Structure 1
């Protein structure tokens, strides 16, 4: 009743065409939904599928209850017009007695469409912008198409049954006619007598009817195969769309990973294919073109139903465990007996393009690379889970020019042989994962992730693996950065136009450029191959460091708009130059990876003003003392730009003083102190660091690194 309560309020805002399409007057008028609302919503309709004939009795019971309740409400209603209307509706609904499942599926779809409408802002329904919800609406339309196809198959079966009965009657009448031929010839009777003539005419009519029904049956079969082809083409398209959305989730785009609807769709199409192949056999004469079409459709469906449900990590470190899950959407139709074992192997770009598995040409040694396809009854899913896979070693291709190991893409290929109930032969099926980059050391992680981000953001859906453009417009790059940033930080607060402009200035090294960067092309080299001017790091390494810092320590500050973020020094001076002393803003460091700094207005000795930038706080600094407490410590800053008192804005981020420790100890605390120009000359000179023994070979070893000889050699090879 709760759903109808909200739906009835929405109806007055919907176009009349939408309402009429939702509640068709000839089958399920709106009065049925209104008078039986509470009862309808208490029943379970979602499980009904036209193909499942075992549900007919349940559907018939619901139909009978619906008609009975309408008649009862009509009798109790004091309004004569309502009485007549409800009785008329109840009589019309009796048409579903021959096909009660069609009634149950119709109610299922109506309730589902109501939920879609209720989840959609009202103003969207009457505008073209409603198209931004195509997947949800088209899913119901596609399922309805399959339901209509099932009805067509039922019609073919009905015609076949009717033909069988007609043929039996024709055989009987022919036998009767032959039985009369003897006496007519022996007694010299006139064969044109009325009874004999009637029998001849009846036989001719039966023969004509059988032939006409055979023609109609063939036409319907042709139509069903064409319709099945169309439905399956849409299904394959939806599966590709699901995989594409899964890939785009890498850069933070929304993704609904539910496969239930697609699984139901696969199962229905498999059932329809089986029934049509059965009808072809029952015709008794070969129709090779239809048989071939159905065989091809069956093979494509069986092979397309393998889905990588949970992708492996897209950056995989050798000698490290990882997991992945493969789901088979036709799992309930797998023939019982021998278990289905899936095998996983690593393939390179060339093998991915050829879509082949070469057993004797493995590019990697993969540990724990087999898993059994198992059915989960509660979830109705059939999956193979690889829990402890590991790449022992990898064989790389010859690199071109300055290409590094973190730019080489691989994929996991999953394959098996499967037998479907009702099919004579086993089928070889396979599916590849999203692209992965294999690394041997944690220091390669950021560069490998850059390869994946670029590939995900700028590749085309039907590309040749793993082709991706070398240059893209800045507006595409910015949208990717913004999507990835908001997803990682888990915020709805986007990067603004000032952030966007500064990021463009930085990646193009044009600090004085004030025009629009949108259509200027940015290259892969500018993104993560060439270091920024005057810096020892690339654009992506710098941006990723900011993103990581914000994600771990500054998420709430950012979400509440307290961090200005990415801003150039020219813009910084422009907006702060006329502000009172002590006005400050928070910006990400331009010169250090993963740092945030405080820029503030301070007084000069001559009475003027200057902009000061406090040494950036890094992840390690903020682990020791939070940003809020550091802001409280610094007396030089008083107002957050443009004019918010800092103690009002940041108060909730302040840490309460700890209670005095016991045992007679004197309490201690940490405070942030900002140096001044007065003591700069007296500051001790920095002590030089001892040279690392590893500096001669270009890398250093930190406490958390665990290197073996192979790893060191590959790291050296990469740097060479």
Structure 2
């Protein structure tokens, strides 16, 4: 570290060690300890690392105070005590502090590697004829920090794009009722990305020009800038309008792809994008040689067109359809509706100011391909699980096999209110009943929140004594409510999700004629009316006729007079 400091300019040192956040005194006095810690392990969105980050911050503050007390130099003592007090502000942002230290150490390594490739000034000042062949050390430091800044911005942009994809994926799978709002947010976010991409392209171009002015080339920096440029150009292709996530063969659909650097495309030959369908294995190996063609797409090409009024550059694929699909060998009990595919969009593009064309590509969200309408229900379950529980920046298309019940319930509630188009959420009684049903624990009275529910429990294993899965039953309830009972559910007239034991507790001691509407346990898409009636001995009894019998013979009337038969 000391060797590096001697070679850096004052400006570079201040940029590297921010005086108000991580002063150079901290790096100097705690050098050995800092270099033995595992800073590279910290990631900003890994909240479980906050405890470890807090421990490191507390140690730094404690060691600074200890060194200050032992130091005989009053000026140094006061300075270190002031720094230790200042650093306590990070106690509410411990993870951000750890990531900051991680980035500083990474920049140190880059600067150190750069300086080892360039002779020290005293060594080449002896050769006046060669002085002009070496760059000014301050310029090199400044250039290195700029490259690192570009890297940081690109990484943050990539992370934001992954988070946006994840949010949009959740929206398309669950939040159908907020289409206009989410579309507005997505469009405004893309506008921000367009500006950032153009800024990054400009910075990259300026840095490459600065490197060209340096007589002695710096291969590492040139290669890093080339890689950053390639990643930027390739990452600027995004799927603006996703294809349907459940696609039936021979059915027509459309999708739109946008290029964020559209105004920087070199004029001349139009850019033609091609779409092809790929399986999960191919999605994981996009950089390798393409494998077998797993499907045939109709109308799979589109021209990238620039709209000057909206400043958008898009290619819209209209009337696409999947003519045929080739499925992979299935493992064990895996069904065809669990197999995920994706659309791969690719093109060759040339950017103004760049000598060579670039191959760009982007994949859509996962899709399930079906051949018959009867497969739609199970395919939707696959997509719903993927939308709700996949992580940003995952390996395509990995999802957890088990999730906490609290996440499962939140997903079911979101899906229910979006599908039925109601503001009446499932309540805690409904939540408990659904948990009892999916876990097959009708007598369990404790909290289910942290219990893990598996994909098999959701839509592979049939419910005990029933010929259908939990999801098939729940989806049937949504269809019934959406088509026939929306008003009653929204007005709170249907209890719906309730077990028989709870039902008897509620109706117990109620007057004759009191009734309660609950969704049928035994039939998909059925409703049961439990009511209190008098027996021959004039005692009350609770009856639950079959759902089909009730729906065919009894009219349900709301307070407003609306009825359903």
Q: TM-score, normalized by length of structure 1?
A: 0.56
2:163 counterpart of 1:241: yes
Q: CA deviation at 1:467?
A: 2.1
Aligned with residue 427 of structure 2, among 482, 491, 496? 496
Q: Is the 8 A contact 1:251 1:483 kept in 2?
A: no
Residue 308 (str. 1) matches residue 239 (str. 2): yes
What are the equivalent positions in structure 2 for 1:650-661 lying under 5 Å apart? 650-652=558-560, 654=562
Partner deviation per Cα, 1:496-517 (whole Å, 9 max, x = no partner): 1111111111112222222222
CA distance in 1, matches of 2:363, 2:142: 38
8 Å CA contact retained: 1:232, 1:301: yes
Q: Could you list the per-position Cα deviations for residues 367-402 of structure 1 after superposition, in whole angstroms to 9, with x for gaps in the alignment?
A: 111111111222211111111111111111111122
Please say if residues 315 and 448 of structure 1, whose CA atoms lie closer than 8 Å, have aligned partners that are also in contact.
Answer: yes
Shift of residue 653 of structure 1? 5.0
| TM-align CA RMSD | 2.8
Query: Which residue of 442, 449, 457 corresponds with 1:518?
Result: 449
Q: 2:525 aligns with which of 588, 591, 594?
A: 594
Deviation at 1:360, TM superposition (A): 6.1
Aligned partner of residue 227 in structure 1, secondary structure:
helix
Contact 1:244–1:461 (CA under 8 A) maintained in structure 2: yes
Indicate yes or no: 2:543 matched with 1:631. no
Residues in 2 aligned to 1:617 and 1:262: alpha-carbon distance in whole angstroms: 55
Aligned match of 2:492: 561
Q: Distance in 2 between matches of 1:599 and 1:501?
A: 20
Instruction: Assess, with a 3 A threshold, how the Cα gap between structure 1 residues 360 and 518 changes in structure 2: closer, same or farther.
Output: closer
| Residue 149 of structure 2 corresponds to residue 224 of structure 1 | no
Which of residues 504, 515, 519 is equivalent to 1:573?
504
Alignment map for 1:33-112 (pairs within 5 Å):
none
Using a 3 Å threshold, how does the CA distance of structure 1 residues 358 and 213 change in structure 2: closer, same or farther? closer
Change (3 A) 1:391 1:606: same
Corresponding residue for residue 481 of structure 2:
550
- The answer to whether 1:337 aligns with 2:268 is yes
Is the CA contact 1:342–1:384 (under 8 Å) kept in the aligned structure 2? yes
CA distance in 1, matches of 2:297, 2:227: 34
Give, in angstroms, the shift of residue 320 of structure 1: 0.7
For residues 565 and 428 of structure 1, what CA distance do their matches in structure 2 show? 54
Question: For each residue in 1:333-370, what CA deviation from the matched residue of structure 2 results, as whole angstroms up to 9, or x when unmatched?
Answer: 11111111111111111111112475561001111111
* Large movers: runs of 4+ above 6 Å: 210-213
Unaligned stretches of 5+ residues in structure 1: 1-129, 132-209, 633-649, 656-670, 673-720
Q: CA shift at 1:472, angstroms?
A: 2.3
Specify whether residues 598 and 332 from structure 1 end up closer, same or farther in structure 2 by C-alpha distance, changes over 3 A only: same
User: Aligned equivalents of 1:533 and 1:372: distance in 2?
Assistant: 53
Rounded to whole Å, the distance in 2 between the matches of 1:475 and 1:530 is: 20
User: Which structure is richer in relative contact order (CA contacts within 8 A, separation 6 or more)?
Assistant: 2
Q: Which has the larger radius of gyration?
A: 1
Matched, 1:263 2:181: no
Q: Alignment partner for residue 274 of structure 1, among 205, 220, 229?
A: 205
Q: Deviations over 1:136-163 (max 9, x none)?
A: xxxxxxxxxxxxxxxxxxxxxxxxxxxx
Q: 1:420 aligns with which of 332, 341, 351?
A: 351
Residue 9 of structure 2 aligns with which residue? none
Deviation at 1:283, TM superposition (A): 4.1
In the alignment, is residue 604 of structure 1 matched against residue 541 of structure 2?
A: no
Once residues 320 and 213 of structure 1 are traced to their aligned partners in structure 2, the CA distance between those partners, rounded to angstroms, is: 62
SS in 2 for 1:465: coil
| Superposition deviation, residue 302 in structure 1 | 0.6
- 1:432: which partner in 2? 363
Distance 1:556 1:281 in 2: 71
Structure 2 regions of 5+ residues with no counterpart? 1-91, 94-131
